[in-house]
Structure 1
Amino acid sequence: MLSIQSICIRVIAVILAMGIHESAHGLVSYWFGDPTAKEEGRLTLNPLAHVDWAGLLCLLVFRFGWAKPVPVDPRYYKDPKTGMIWTAFAGPIANFLLALVSIILYYGCVKANVESTFVLSLLSSIAVLSIGFGVFNLLPIPPLDGSKILFAFLPLDKYIRFTQGSNVMMIVFILLISSGILDGPLMRMVSNSIDLFSHWAIVLWGL
């Protein structure tokens, strides 16, 4: 049974991973000329503004959840496809950067002989969950970010149809998640990313 501390650590890590992900989408979309996120108060680093509480609960209980999507309107972009590619990429990239910073801080605490299990566990959880969130969202399955990136190379009419999703694609998505068939590959990618970032952090701190 999870302790209160473990639950708190997991909640904080999930909220940060989701919040930084959605904030990055909104910020990059704004850079490309889309004011929608700013007008709706979503252009903020406050992670609570991006939390879907039902999605958070599902993630904590079932290990599958979602954040409140930042509204994006590609009609404001000069080049809708390019704008959508970078806007979609922004979320996972932000997750990887958050994980890297967390791992650097973790090994910094190790070097400084910080013995707080709460701090070390929190940094570790942020790194793992943030990388997991980033990797998961790169899957080329609607409505995930990977589909927006991949389908941007299709003709415009097909791109719009795929990014809007379909009942069939949603069923495929749900089946893949619930079957657990993706767990192994995803965990290997997460583990490899953690090993890489840890290596960089160890070299940085001279451990």
Structure 2
Amino acid sequence: MNLDALIQTIALAAIPVLFAITLHEAAHGYAARHFGDLTAYQQGRISLNPLHHIDPVGTILLPLLTLFVGGILFGWAKPVPVNFAALRRPKQDMFWVALAGPASNLAMALIWGLMIKLALMFPGNYFAEPLIGMSQIGVTINAVLLVLNLLPLPPLDGGRIAISLLPHRQAYKLSKVEPYGMVILILLAVVPVGGQPILGWILTPLVSGVIRVIETIF
């Protein structure tokens, strides 16, 4: 990718990537407060301001690298602190707190899909083409974060959801994986099989399926 194309892509990607990553974390905070945990609220992390959630590596550097070298566009923000023991019904409420992040990504993917629909209704408009480009990135990054975070691997949201749904014995066993979860995820992201990282084999068909559903809706 030449420099001009990279700058143009960064300009289009900045807003959807920032909101996809930071609103995901804010959604966890809002849900946690609703169910009784005030940790994120007391630390000022329940905010729609992206500056409160930006992680220099996960929110800025990693998305820029994936835009530059290609591959699946993804990243992360500073995790919102949640004290699951402070929830009114810790095991049951964990489900909703964990689900709030991916649900926010689904909502944003649908909104960006609607923006594409609206832009296509005014093809001669000066802003239509950039809006379509920005919205396509918005659909993609939110579809990636939706699918990635639903993988049943603690500390990902899917792991938390699985822990909340499993019987206590199985939930306890799965929770013991959490200290190694990010290491496992990194290995999945870098270990290749057939020329593609294992994580790519897992995510690509699922992300494509989510995008096709959104295209069908609009």
Same fold (TM over 0.5): yes
| Aligned mate of 1:162, from 154, 159, 175 | 175
Higher alpha-carbon deviation: 105-114 or 148-157? 148-157
Do the aligned residues in 1 keep the contact of 2:163 with 2:174 (CA within 8 Å)?
Answer: no
- 1:186 match: 203
Query: Aligned partners of 1:54 and 1:189: how far apart in 2?
Result: 25
Contact 2:105 2:145 survives alignment (8 Å) = yes
Aligned with 1:65 (options 75, 91, 94): 75
* Correspondences of 1:30-179 after superposition (within 5 Å): 30-56=33-59, 57-62=61-66, 63=73, 65-113=75-123, 114-116=125-127, 117-152=129-164, 153-155=166-168, 158-159=171-172, 162=175, 165-167=178-180, 169-179=181-191
Whether the aligned pair in 2 keeps the contact of 1:10 and 1:125 (CA below 8 Å) is yes
Measured in 1, the distance between the counterparts of 2:202 and 2:104 equals 21
Structure 1, unaligned stretches of length 5 or more? 202-207
Q: TM-score under structure 1 normalisation?
A: 0.88
Summarize the Cα distance change of 1:100–1:34 in structure 2 as closer, same or farther, 3 Å threshold.
same
The CA distance in 2 between the partners of 1:16 and 1:92, in whole Å, is 13
What is the CA–CA distance in structure 2 between the aligned matches of 1:89 and 1:133, rounded to whole Å?
12
Matched AA of 2:111:
V
Kept in 1: contact 2:74–2:145 (CA 8 A): no
RMSD of Structure 2 on Structure 1 (CA): 2.1
Deviation of 1:119 after TM superposition, in Å, equals: 1.4
Query: CA–CA distance in 1 between the matches of 2:104 and 2:182?
Result: 25
Identity %: 35
Give 1:197's aligned residue: 214
- Once the 2 structures are TM-superposed, how far is the Cα of residue 133 of structure 1 from its aligned partner? 0.8
Number of positions where the alignment pairs a residue of Structure 1 with one of Structure 2? 200
Secondary structure of the equivalent of 1:78?
coil
Aligned in 2, Cα 1:170/1:4: closer, same or farther, shift over 3 Å?
Answer: closer
Give unmatched runs, 5+ long, in structure 2.
67-72, 192-196
Shift of 1:174: 1.9
User: Residues 138-163 of structure 1, C-alpha deviation per residue, up to 9 Å, x if partnerless?
Assistant: 11112211111112224179538716
Secondary structure at the counterpart of residue 166 of structure 1: helix
* Secondary structure of the corresponding residue to residue 198 of structure 2: coil
Where does residue 14 of structure 1 map in the other structure?
Answer: 17
Q: What residue identity is the alignment partner of 2:145?
A: F
Q: Deviations over 1:150-193 (max 9, x none)?
A: 122241795387167234x4432221121211213312111111
Q: 1:19 to 1:163 in 2, by over 3 A?
A: farther
- Following superposition, the deviation at residue 59 of structure 1 comes to 3.1
* Aligned match of 2:69: none
Range with greater deviation from structure 2 (75-84 or 169-178): 169-178
